[in-house]
Chains A and B, each alone.
Chain A
């Protein structure tokens, strides 16, 4: 799939440091023992406005999904989803090769390293069905 070229924005760079080494880095408030998505800017629990980055295990489950279709019939449909990380946060994500979509379907993070731009994240089923 061609998703364009990803660049860093200076605020979420540790996320892309993570994808480069096949790790999913998300935000975490240590005092509250709470995890947040990579774009979280603070902890609503304690008011901390600086959250640390921590590695998520990459396991997730499917919350809900959509298949988007471009106006051009030649555009390939995109399987998009909300996934719940094992640590609790939800991510808007893209699925790759996932069949039998249902609430709670186990997923695992997978990393893509394009020739140009930052590495990114997809979610696949935990047991890949044979082609």
Chain B
């Protein structure tokens, strides 16, 4: 125990419309890149955590692909978009209790096929449908967009949240993306562009929805003591938490109104010894603009129902009070599930954000969200070790 855990390496393959490599090969390349980034070699790894993906993503056979031997920790982890946070937490705990010393956590996916639209990668279409579930799909529930639209619409009806407020998140996220050379979409957009973008599933416009990307991202977690001697400045893992609300599909459900951030955030912040007022920058899972809005509320950055008004103040944008999704998020940069916010958090904690580097990076909150707001993970990261943390 003692020194805690830190992220020592970050590896990213080319992201976006990248074809020709299997997810397993992408994952292997990301792990190699992360190990090299840390100044380590594959022989230094004694743990590997692999995230599930949409299809074709590798499982624990990735260890064999990489030629890893004598591992002390090896698992496939699955909590959808909350997996990245869960992997880092599991790695940190394993390191702190002595079960492993140096753990790679990796996500890889390649849902995009050449000549296929981004939407169709996560879209079902068939002439025949089977059973009650098939009826639901046949009636029009063929894409995850519709389910998130139901959630967003419920929030709007209950709290008066508007499409323009969601648009403020799309606009600020793109402002950040314009400063990230790795972002897939870097041309600035206006609120009018958001409002004029086609409907996908009302109340969600196209510019409320994330990208779809191929690629892989890996991080290396090790002890803070060891991380200090490695190639990159350590990114300390100060706290973690999860929340799986289990909203039932029945009377009284809070679906669309609250998320697992409500439970996950306080656990992670308490562990880190910080409060919501201490958070300098947020990297939030932004599969949709609405996801950011409801997550901000549940973490307590504003009162329940006021996420829209909060976003509309410009707080999330460059120069704002709460820089959020500073790499352009999943909306504008790249969609690597929970690795999107995690990777940008590492960049910001290292002070390696270039034009988009935030001035204050002492406490960074990272969220993961999976399913239809079913699963949530939180991480508190910092360039500072827990003991040197200013009160």
| B-binding residues in A (CB < 8 A) | 3-12, 15, 35-39, 44, 63-69, 71, 77-78, 80-82, 84, 88-94, 102-103, 117-118, 120-122
B131:A88 contact, CB within 8 angstroms: no
Which residues of A are found within 8 Å of B157, using beta-carbon distances? 64, 102-103
Q: A120 vs B133: C-alpha distance in the bound complex, in angstroms?
A: 12
- The contact of B198 among A69, A88, A94, A122, by CB within 8 Å, is A69
How many interface residues does chain B have, given as a range? 35 or more
- The contact of A90 among B139, B158, B253, by CB within 8 Å, is B253
A63:B138 contact, CB within 8 angstroms: no
Q: Does B135 contact A (CB under 8 A)?
A: yes
Interface segment out of the listed B27-35, B54-62, B121-129, B356-364: B121-129
Q: Give the residue name and chain of the B residue nearest to A12 (CB).
A: B132
Which residues of A are found within 8 Å of B200, using beta-carbon distances? 68-69
Q: A8-B130, A65-B150, A71-B119 in contact; A92/B141 too (CB < 8 A)? A: yes
Contact with A along B241-271 (1 / 0, CB 8 A): 0000000111101011000000000000000
Q: Give the residue name and chain of the B residue nearest to A122 (CB).
A: B139
Q: A6 vs B126: C-alpha distance in the bound complex, in angstroms?
A: 11
Q: A66-B203, A67-B201, A69-B198 in contact; A121/B154 too (CB < 8 A)? A: no
Contact with A along B201-240 (1 / 0, CB 8 A): 1111000000000000000000000000000000000000
Q: Which has the most chain B C-beta neighbours within 10 Å: A7, A36, A66?
A: A66
Once A and B bind, how many residue pairs between them come within 8 Å at the CB atom?
A: 124
B154:A64 contact, CB within 8 angstroms: yes
B135:A67 contact, CB within 8 angstroms: no
Contact with A along B175-206 (1 / 0, CB 8 A): 00000000000000000000000111111100
Q: A80-B139, A80-B150, A84-B251 in contact; A7/B129 too (CB < 8 A)? A: yes
Q: Which has the most chain A C-beta neighbours within 10 Å: B140, B146, B150?
A: B140
Q: A68 vs B272: C-alpha distance in the bound complex, in angstroms?
A: 42
Q: Give the residue name and chain of the A residue nearest to B140 (CB).
A: A78
A4:B127 contact, CB within 8 angstroms: yes
Top 5 nearest A-B pairs (CB, nearest first) are A9-B131, A66-B149, A78-B140, A64-B154, A12-B132
Nearest chain B CB to A82 CB, angstrom units: 5
Which residues of A are found within 8 Å of B129, using beta-carbon distances? 3-7
Q: A33 vs B150: C-alpha distance in the bound complex, in angstroms?
A: 28
Nearest chain A CB to B343 CB, angstrom units: 30
- The contact of B130 among A7, A67, A102, by CB within 8 Å, is A7
Q: A4 vs B126: C-alpha distance in the bound complex, in angstroms?
A: 8
Nearest chain B CB to A21 CB, angstrom units: 16
Nearest chain A CB to B248 CB, angstrom units: 8
A38:B132 contact, CB within 8 angstroms: yes
Q: A63 vs B157: C-alpha distance in the bound complex, in angstroms?
A: 10
Q: A11 vs B126: C-alpha distance in the bound complex, in angstroms?
A: 20
Q: A64-B157, A67-B199, A82-B150 in contact; A120/B130 too (CB < 8 A)? A: no
Which residues of B are found within 8 Å of A69, using beta-carbon distances? 198-202
- The contact of B153 among A44, A65, A84, by CB within 8 Å, is A65
A92:B136 contact, CB within 8 angstroms: yes
Nearest chain B CB to A101 CB, angstrom units: 9
Which residues of B are found within 8 Å of A92, using beta-carbon distances? 136, 139, 141, 147
Nearest chain B CB to A9 CB, angstrom units: 3
Nearest chain B CB to A1 CB, angstrom units: 9
- The contact of B134 among A7, A36, A37, A90, by CB within 8 Å, is A7
Which residues of A are found within 8 Å of B136, using beta-carbon distances? 92
Q: Give the residue name and chain of the B residue nearest to A73 (CB).
A: B198
